Structure 1
């Protein structure tokens, strides 16, 4: 008799019936629709983003933790579990959902006018409209306050000039939430992507997140009406709060990739025979599997704890940093270690290990590098800011 890492920690017993149902529904979508196709999407570096967005929308996955405006209004923990199941397939697919819901939709939901919310959120929740989030620039990632994109008033209009980089969903988006410097400080703008002067060339030749759309955003004299600005977002706290929403999904999501690596490796080592016995029957194999399962389970316990804190309204940004730092770092270690147990077979597209490991290299550094999260935690512990 064997047990899975999740069963070893009795994780299912910590979930409500609704949370289990949501996880099961997303896992069914992954197994029946996404998993059979994802290796090919990764190989060619393209995904049917619009088709997938509408499928995700029909399941209520887009902006699922938001309320009103035809959003599902699910719990934060349920949203995390959905991210977990999606990333067990591929980090790029989870990125599509989390950028749509936790960055673009959340920004409009939290900081937008009633007109902006009513115009965009129902369509985005259904997947009829795709959103992206323009904060990172070619020279400003970990230091977004230095952004060079500018918005200048011209009569009653705003005129935007600048560039954003590494933008998920950019070249397929219908709307971009773009952050820019103004005379009043950093402000956010809702930019329909058919606005003259807006272009979003896709970034090619990626070795990571290939089953995901990644783009540059270029804004050249993009003229917007006064009501394009997000009225409730003033300063850097606006975009940073959006990033915390997305980082929360990563806390659960990255561990989905680890779970898939462990499942694959347990199956492989049970049937791969070396010196007339299963690879799983060797002490060193079992030591690796035990250590990896322990880190996976500890990570899930932390993720669920953070989910309960978020659902109660008590989650702090430095706690999100704890989860993001731990989940991605340990999941990447697990993906690499699992690959060693598959030997040469582990580098082929027949198994998902290298795909997960390559993806997690990106997840490790986006939405805050590990070093940034270490400094956030360090500041909370010491009261001293070591960023500068």
Structure 2
């Protein structure tokens, strides 16, 4: 009689962590990916000063905010989008769903692993879900060949590919040559690409490359304040539509927004105008974050790889995806043959919480899990960030995992 919709695994695990803490148990929270960084002070103040703004905005969002977003992303990485082709909403999550809802029937290509809500949203929208397989050896990246293989299972005329990089759950990105190759196959099959670049501004070492710069004619880019501005709970996202978007498609997006979320909260849009005021003025704030996250990510990857837990060094964001395949035999002797069981036992015996691979599209017998390395507090000091003193819970959590697997090996 009712739809069967499970609670989002990332939100569920955050609730579980709070319940265990209420029992006075120390939990290392590597399960929920929430930025520990605060929005810049000027952005916080802009929100405070806009608390009285209670009026509705247009469904598309405040005009001046959309103009600022357009200029900000052009300065960041050359992403060109007219302000009239930007939609602002209460989070990019609802925009992803809105885009899918605009189609009556479609095939939705989703890489495995991928963010937990893509597949449920596609199913809720009534679409045909097609998983695009990847592998640890190929860094969890999709390729033209994997797309060609996936579309053999198409059922409908319309095809949507959801691309996410730097990725959740893997923290990896795509090279310009890889994006160019994907653009060729997307163009050949007239695929609509939703490029979820919510972590784009947290790319390490080099500017983030937007897929729309390689495939401008059919790419919608989603982004928002939640990751780079540390404002996940504020719920402020945006979708950058492509030039020449079909009139009916754009109207469907606005129409769905008008019948669901109405508009993004006006005070938050005013604060967002401060956040997007100048990319140049934001660079130092972004570099501070990426420097810290890169140090932590490198530490985690090196420590875990040392005990034969497969991890690729992250290139952005704050996640790594762990492959425990080399420990399958030892885990089996302990009665562990699934990612769910592995995460359950690890939590019980060490207090470390990670999210099982099933949440990201894998079958339960695949021994994989996501680790979000953001269980740390920002130091109240101006000195350089020090991993050993400023990240004690991350270091403790990684050591607990390492020691648990070391003991597992001895016992086996």
TM-score grouping bracket, smaller chain normalisation = under 0.3
Which protein has the bigger helix share?
A: 1
Task: Normalising by structure 1, report the TM-score.
Answer: 0.25
Task: Normalising by structure 2, report the TM-score.
Answer: 0.24
Give the structure, 1 or 2, with the largest relative contact order (CA under 8 Å, sep 6 or more): 2
